[in-house]
């Protein structure tokens, strides 16, 4: 069964954050709250973790994963952002948006869209996630925790633990945004691919 950890939503306890990240560094898979529902994640380059997430979500190898980044400087290490896109991303972050951008060579190939060399990135507006990312020192490879046959991410830690505790290593309990998955802005194709929790009115691509 998964380790079930309750972390303070405003002032995350460093000891608990460190323990959760120890599991990530050990190659394990965790579920955690974000500003757009629960997510499931593992470390970058963790092939087994990625395959476990695919199996839990019942998605194939063409599923787009997202890199959760701690700040804009970290994001800029993994994706190519021109000046106009920089202004747009800066104006919308942190928040419930995923941006599709061209990846740099720092991104593990298994994480990329194989035909386009693109990757999804986002800067979440959530204190627990930000604490996890600060402790890890690199992005977390993640996917919204949407179960097969459902359209919205899970939003309650106890329910995640009840339904998925046998296939996860850690479940972090905490409040999360409940407005649905992130809005997805594809800055390569210049289109809004999904309207979700983030307001997209007024965005011109």
3-state SS string over 8-66?
A: CCCCCCHHHHHHHHHHHHCCCCEEEEEECEEEEEEECCCHHHHHHHHHHHCCCCCCCCE
Is 203 part of a structural domain of the chain? Answer: no
Among candidate residues 63, 24, 22, 17, the one with its CA nearest the CA of residue 46: 24
Is 9 part of a structural domain of the chain? Answer: yes
Is 71 part of a structural domain of the chain? Answer: yes
Is 204 part of a structural domain of the chain? Answer: no
Is 164 part of a structural domain of the chain? Answer: yes
Boundaries of domain holding 43:
3-194
The answer for residues whose C-beta is within 8 angstroms of residue 152's C-beta and 6 or more apart is: 37, 146, 180, 181
Is 168 part of a structural domain of the chain? Answer: yes
| pLDDT score at 114 | 64
| pLDDT score at 178 | 77
| pLDDT score at 59 | 86
Q: What's the pTM? A: 0.93
Q: How confident is the model at residue 185 (pLDDT cuts 50, 70, 90)?
A: very high
Q: What is the CATH number of the domain that holds 154?
A: 3.90.870.10
Is 148 part of a structural domain of the chain? Answer: yes
- Mean pLDDT, rounded, for 164-177: 95
Domain count, the chain: 1
Is 202 part of a structural domain of the chain? Answer: no
pLDDT in tens, 88-124: 999 999 999 999 999 999 998 877 766 678 999 999 9
Pairing of strands 183-186, 97-102: parallel
Q: How confident is the model at residue 152 (pLDDT cuts 50, 70, 90)?
A: confident
Bigger pLDDT: 64 vs 71: 71
């Amino acid at each position: 069964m998964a380790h079930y950890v309750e972390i303070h939503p405003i002032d995350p306890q460093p000891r608990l954050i460190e323990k959760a990240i120890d599991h990530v560094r050990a190659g394990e898979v965790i579920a955690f709250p974000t500003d757009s529902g629960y997510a499931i994640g593992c470390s970058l380059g963790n092939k087994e973790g990625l395959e476990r997430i695919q199996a839990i979500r019942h998605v194939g190898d063409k599923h787009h994963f997202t890199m959760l980044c701690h700040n804009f400087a970290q994001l800029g290490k993994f994706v190519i952002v021109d000046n106009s896109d920089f202004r747009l991303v800066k104006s919308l972050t942190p928040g419930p948006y995923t941006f599709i951008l061209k990846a740099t060579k720092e991104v593990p190939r298994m994480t990329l869209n194989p035909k386009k060399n693109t990757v999804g990135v986002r800067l979440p507006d959530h204190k627990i996630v930000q604490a996890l990312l600060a402790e890890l020192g690199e992005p977390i490879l993640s996917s919204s925790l949407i179960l097969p046959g459902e359209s919205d991410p899970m939003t309650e830690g106890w329910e995640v633990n009840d339904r998925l505790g046998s296939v996860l290593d850690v479940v972090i309990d905490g409040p999360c945004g409940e407005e649905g998955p992130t809005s997805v802005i594809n800055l390569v194709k210049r289109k809004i691919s999904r309207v979700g929790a983030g307001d997209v009115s007024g965005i011109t691509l």
